[in-house]
Amino acid sequence: MSASDTRVEVVIVGAGFAGLGMAIALRRAGREDFVVLERAASLGGTWRDNTYPGVACDVPSHLYGFATHPNPNWSGTYARGAEIHSYLEDVAASEGLGDRLRLHTAMRSADWDAEHEVWRIHTSAGTFVADALVLACGRLTEPSIPRIPGLEHFPGPLFHSARWDHDADLAGARIAVVGTGASAVQIVPELARTAGHVTLFQRTPAWIVPRGGDSYSDDDHARFVADPTSLEALRADLYAEGEARFASRSGDSAAAAAAEAVARAHLERQIADPALRAALTPDYAFGCKRVLLSDDFYPAVASDAVTLVPTSLAAVTGSTLIAADGSRHDVDALVLATGFASTRQPYADLVRGENARSLAEHWSGGMTSFASTVVAGFPNMFVLNGPNASLGHSSSVLMIEEQAAYVARVLDDRAGRVLRVDPHAEQLYTDEIAQAAASTRWMTGGCRNWYVDERSGRLTLLWPGTVDAFRARLSRADGSEFLALPAPLERRPA
């Protein structure tokens, strides 16, 4: 180790929900020798990067937070993006993580040093040498930019929804939005209020259910502060509601039929034009793609302010957009609400484990792991919010908390030993996931979704079960997932 290297027990990469959740878990386990690396100028992850008009969470706010940091001051049932970002900043401050955060510090590579049994993490601010590496980089961080002929020559403002250009003057402009996913259904109603016109390109319609929700009053906030048990009860109720939604999202016939009926009734109430309603009706099973929540998307699309183009954007010629159906649309600005690189995690190219094999190579047929957290061939490395750790029915923060607790536990249980995942254990877990996923709507529902890796056809993003089931699965991990090792020896200097 050179004199300029920083030696630390644990390096956490990423300062969003996952990174902060890991830091909290280490603190609770009595571990203080860690740093959190963040490439940006501030923490917050998704909720720092996404600042588009109307950005908000579609998980109830009192479930979308850490159990150890309840927030009595959420403004309403569903929190706005800036509010969530502020919450994360408050959590970091209350945990005293300021001296652990390393902002403006991008991971350029991470290499397992087999001789010294440490990770060497090379960053824009120097090299860190660590016993353990936690990748908390997020699964939706790198925008997916479609390959459309002529796109790069579009003369007006052009940006992805997660890289919103607030300097662009869009008032009164003719704006095209490409995509009708979770971001688009929030963006389009906002743009429709101020734009000259919005042209919406829809490759595939989404199932949309009513959002509902209320604002919390001052009396509500005062009650939550005065009686923390009322917050605990509310979170417990929201948790139970989320767990109950798994049935309809995964494909239970009766539950899915009931939920689809709600979505169809919502569409019929808000879209009077039969042709437009038909264009907005999915032709795949409810739950196959992410189910969206909105009360104002359909009214916006039905208004004179929006034109729905029920097909994909095929080409761009100057300021003219050409749809796959041949229709042409002249616009002044173009917003890409086209999602993210989800199944192929960008950080995987930067991480090399045993025998200098990259994580991207290990995942060349789709992400695999044991316990959705540890990976064979990558000793003392943990991935949060990665393979099969997302949810289609409830809060991802719940999964992060379970993973972080697992990491803290195995670090304690096998202190001083190198944690090498048994490849057989990883394969059995992968098979277990595939078996559980086989009959779900994500696999059988007749759609393309970002949960399934196109290279292998495996479900690699979602956990195919409830949060309770995930907690139980991790609790059964007894250490046998790791290769048997001799008693720890004194390590040579790193």
**Superfamily for domain range 151-207+252-336:** FAD/NAD(P)-binding domain (3.50.50.60)
Per-residue pLDDT for 55 more than 50? yes
- Residue 170, classed as helix, strand or coil, is coil
Q: Mind giving me the DSSP string for 216-279? A: PPHHHHHHHHH-HHHHHHHHHHHHHHHHHHHHHHHT-HHHHHHHHHHHHHHHHHH---HHHHHH
Which residues have a Cβ under 8 Å from the Cβ of 429 and sit 6 or more positions away?
368, 369, 370, 371, 481
> What percentage of the chain reaches a pLDDT higher than 90?
93
Closest Cα to residue 457, out of 449, 468, 469, 467? Answer: 449
Place 494 in a pLDDT band, splitting at 50, 70 and 90: low
**385-422 pLDDT tens trace:** 999 999 999 999 999 999 999 999 999 987 778 999 99
- Residue 183, classed as helix, strand or coil, is coil
**191-238 pLDDT tens trace:** 999 999 999 999 999 999 999 999 999 999 999 999 999 999 999 999
Tokens standing for 97? 């993580």
pLDDT value, residue 486:
52
- CA-CA distance, 336 to 162, in Å (whole number)? 9
Q: Could you state, in order of their start, the residue ranges of all structural domains in the chain?
A: 6-142+341-475, 151-207+252-336
Q: What is the mean pLDDT of the chain?
A: 95
Place 489 in a pLDDT band, splitting at 50, 70 and 90: very low
6-142+341-475 and 151-207+252-336 share one fold: yes
The pTM is what?
A: 0.95
**348-389 pLDDT tens trace:** 999 999 999 999 999 999 999 999 999 999 999 999 999 999
pLDDT value, residue 491:
47
User: What's the CATH fold of domain 6-142+341-475?
Assistant: FAD/NAD(P)-binding domain (3.50.50)
Lowest mean pLDDT among 38-47, 54-63, 327-336, 480-489: 480-489
pLDDT value, residue 487:
46
Q: Which of 39 and 494 is assigned the larger pLDDT? A: 39
pLDDT value, residue 485:
63
